[in-house]
Structure 1
């Protein structure tokens, strides 16, 4: 009889949901503990997340790849001199070093419309895997609209707000920051994009920015992220602002046309 079946042999009703999410559900159990496989998978995910934070980004390789797209590159350090200082002192990752300020001086007379800053952030893996692929779509779009671009700035040990000082230096209306997001146990390579209109160092806050997050192969696609960025640029130019007063309405109007064949059962 069905009632005589031991509880640990009954099918887990949650197991079928694992096809829709990388979240840790329906892991099973071995007595009062997790099964060995689940424990090992957790340890691997934790190790990948730690590596994403601690393994340095290869800025030389990244600069070569972006230069191959036909754009000038500037590599700018922050006042966080090493990884330990960067993790312990977030404020130093928001301020350019003296060397970086010196590197920007020859461009003092250059006025631009857009500055794009690529920052290692908390996941070097995210920038290594996704930044160039996203720029391959973004740069032609900006050029087709006759935007004047500043040199693409690569920032080591940087935080989101580092883009403000760079945008202010170039007197750029539009500031776009690509940054490695804090890694999770299911997404150690997630890239975020922050967009600010008329960014100013020490003045712009998170309320002035729009964030597009979770860009990776199992998250938001490059095409979806690009559609959001272009929408924000268009609306920011109209309203002359960004942040909490600029609402992203691309979800229904645009992104549904870019969805893959797979659908999310939670949205059905």
Structure 2
């Protein structure tokens, strides 16, 4: 059986919010001008992202500064607004009639001045059991707000990225927590979507070392592991052949 996908970010978020994983889910709402105002007042920084979309395309970051000015970032461009109505008008031109989400901003850790998150790859093995195949870091390109490799991000090992922030013992504890999260997400999403066979969780770590699930990709890229984790790549390919993604 081929792997089924869940395309809607909102649908995946709603499923995970209604579970034991809710403490790892940033507050998320369907975009509206009113909700943006409310969430900016609460968090000062939010991400506005398309409900349907991949590779970080269309993602915007909105920040409300102490002087009540607003900053809108997309890609490498930045615009500043002194009035929220001007900000809302600009966002409306970017969104059009498409469904967008607002997500609580996470102040993620940095490595050498660049933000990073972690890609946790979980997959059904040949025994049809969820298994953590790999945890790799993704470091944003200079002046970018997303970490996607397709957007210029760079893959790094978990150990390399966390070394300035955690000792070896604490890094291992965090890895174990990430593995538990990955397996739990697999179990929860596949309850109502039996065809799911592979997931790529994008997880940010904040300055309190708390993990936040930013997104779950139901058809994650495989090719990156060929270079960065050849042993995991071989196992991923074997499993993908078993359930029909690869021949």
Could you say which structure has the larger radius of gyration? 1
Coarse TM-score class (shorter-chain normalised): under 0.3
Q: TM-score, normalised by structure 1?
A: 0.25
Structure with more strand by fraction: 2
Q: TM-score, normalised by structure 2?
A: 0.26
Query: Relative contact order (C-alpha < 8 Å, sep 6+): which is higher?
Result: 2
